[in-house]
């Protein structure tokens, strides 16, 4: 039996590549800031990201009945337990290096997003509104990277790196929403792909993509960030190809290259950038 045929195994393994690529983003952030990469922090970050996404998939969401039908019969309690153990391990690694806010930041933002803060008869929360989820994803992971780099002392690079990765994750999460339109419509969720349509959404994301890379290149040219040509090229080419070519129909296409399009050009971007940055550091 393959992993995809075992709902519980699929649940606890499906976020592995997301966590791995997230850990590599922090590693690349260190390079951009001109800092020696801290492997322990990169591993801790990967564990926290994995735990966050696995926990989200282990909780009941109406849209998941369509978007993630393959895990509808999974043992969600096991998923929650694995998430808790992984998050605790990641937090321990962060705490061992005297980083205390960074591992808590994603869960703080997640709580504000889903539960909010009760103020009298009202509850102030981030959830709700078209595109808010994507902004929260960008703030969560871009902000976590920024906090870690900031804590080491590279303040301005930290802000620019956090902005860069925040914009990238906003774009990536919105593209992921394109494949989930059916489930979101069934659940009454008004995502950006639902609200804008494919053409206007692509134009919005391309505009963000251009602004993101202009800032990125400018920061490298003036010396705020170290000049990492492999990372710049991989980022530009990978995101550019995704925005130009990705189609939700790829998800069920029989051609391997199309079926694995997101894995290669979105989830695989950090891995490719890491390999090239290591082999070609300039």
The whole-number pLDDT of residue 4 equals 53
Sequence-ordered list of residues with C-beta below 8 angstroms from that of 115, at least 6 positions apart, any chain: 123, 125
The whole-number pLDDT of residue 172 equals 92
Q: What letter would DSSP give residue 250?
A: G
- One pLDDT digit (tens) per residue for the chain, 282 residues: 445 567 778 788 888 999 999 999 999 999 999 999 999 999 999 999 999 888 877 776 554 444 455 666 667 788 889 999 999 999 999 999 999 888 888 888 877 766 666 666 665 555 556 778 889 899 999 999 999 999 988 899 999 999 999 999 999 989 988 877 776 666 667 788 888 888 899 999 999 999 999 999 999 999 999 998 889 999 999 999 999 998 888 877 778 888 888 888 888 899 999 998 887 755
Helix (H) or strand (E) holding 124: strand 122-124
CA 9, CA 273: separation in Å to the nearest integer? 29
CA 145, CA 27: separation in Å to the nearest integer? 10
**Which residues on neighbouring strands pair with residue 119, listed in sequence order?**
122
User: Measuring CA to CA, which residue among 126, 120, 215, 209 is closest to residue 167?
Assistant: 209
The whole-number pLDDT of residue 124 equals 54
The whole-number pLDDT of residue 121 equals 64
The model carries a pTM of 0.87
């Amino acid at each position: 039996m393959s992993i995809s045929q075992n709902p519980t195994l699929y649940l606890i393994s499906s976020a592995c590549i997301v966590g791995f690529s997230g850990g590599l983003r922090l590693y690349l952030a260190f390079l951009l800031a001109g800092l020696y990469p801290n492997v322990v922090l990169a591993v801790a970050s990967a564990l926290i990201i994995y735990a966050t996404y696995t926990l989200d998939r282990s909780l009941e969401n109406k849209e998941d009945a369509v978007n993630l039908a393959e895990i509808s019969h999974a043992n969600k309690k096991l998923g929650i337990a694995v998430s808790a153990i992984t998050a605790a391990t990641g937090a321990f690694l962060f705490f061992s290096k005297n980083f205390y806010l960074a591992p808590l930041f994603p869960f703080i933002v997640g709580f504000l997003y889903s539960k909010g803060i009760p103020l009298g008869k009202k509850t102030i929360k981030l959830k709700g509104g078209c595109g808010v989820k994507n902004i929260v994803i960008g703030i969560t992971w871009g902000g976590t990277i920024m906090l870690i780099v900031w804590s080491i002392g590279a303040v301005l690079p930290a802000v620019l790196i956090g902005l860069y990765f925040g914009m990238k994750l906003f774009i990536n999460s919105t593209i992921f929403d394109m494949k989930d339109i059916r489930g979101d419509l069934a659940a009454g969720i008004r995502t950006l792909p639902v609200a804008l349509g494919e053409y206007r959404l692509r134009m919005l994301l391309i505009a963000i993509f251009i602004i993101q890379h202009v800032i990125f290149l400018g920061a490298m040219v003036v010396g705020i960030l170290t000049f990492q040509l492999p990372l710049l090229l991989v980022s530009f080419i990978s995101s550019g190809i995704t925005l130009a070519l990705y189609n939700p129909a790829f998800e069920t296409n029989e051609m391997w290259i199309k079926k694995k399009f997101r894995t290669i050009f979105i989830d695989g971007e950090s891995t490719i950038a890491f390999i090239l940055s290591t082999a070609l550091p300039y």
